[in-house]
Amino acid sequence: MKELRDAFQQIQEKRRVEEQQAERQRVTATLLASARAAIRGKRFQEALDNLVALRAIDPTAPGLAELTETATRATRPRQRPRTNRAMRRWSSTPNCSTSRSPARRPRKAWQWGTGKIVAVGLLVLAVIVALIVVLKAW
């Protein structure tokens, strides 16, 4: 009878270990799929969060290193090559066909913001008041 109990306990332990492995594989597959979908959707921080959770569960998961590198590379700010001021001015002209910068609408001189218009109005008002004060004192 004792042998049967021991055999039954061994079978239960083996079954528990297999269930844990199966659960870990399901979670790993789910996290990998979520990370891939986040990268495709350009949600790189979400992908990194999924990959960190995956690394805690299974650091040897297939594709973990490549996906982590892809998401990390995408979250880093891109380094723009340094150019001198004249080159930047030349390359940012809107009519330049070789410009690498995205096309921008040229700003018209009269398209000031409300804040600038109010500030200029207050400046003009202050100058007029100062002139009136000076002329009255004269």
Identify how many contiguous H helices and E strands the chain contains and give both numbers: 5, 0
User: How close are the terminal C-alpha atoms of the chain, in Å?
Assistant: 122
In 3-state terms the chain splits into helix, strand, coil percentages (rounded to 5) of 70, 0, 30
136 pLDDT band (50/70/90 cuts)?
Answer: confident
CA of 97: how far to CAs of 89, 100, 103, 105, in Å? 14, 9, 10, 15
Q: Which of 34, 32, 39 is nearest to 71 (CA)?
A: 39
Q: How far apart are CA 70 and CA 44, in angstroms?
A: 9
Q: What is the pLDDT of residues 67-124, one digit of tens each?
A: 999 988 888 876 665 655 555 555 555 555 554 555 666 655 556 677 777 888 899 9
Q: How far apart are CA 109 and CA 92, in angstroms?
A: 18
Residue 58: the pLDDT is: 87
pTM as predicted? 0.50
Residue 37: the pLDDT is: 93
Residue 51 has pLDDT above 70, yes or no: yes
| Mean pLDDT score of the chain | 81
Residue 118: the pLDDT is: 83
Cβ-in-10-Å burial (0-12, 13-18, 19+) of 99 comes to middle
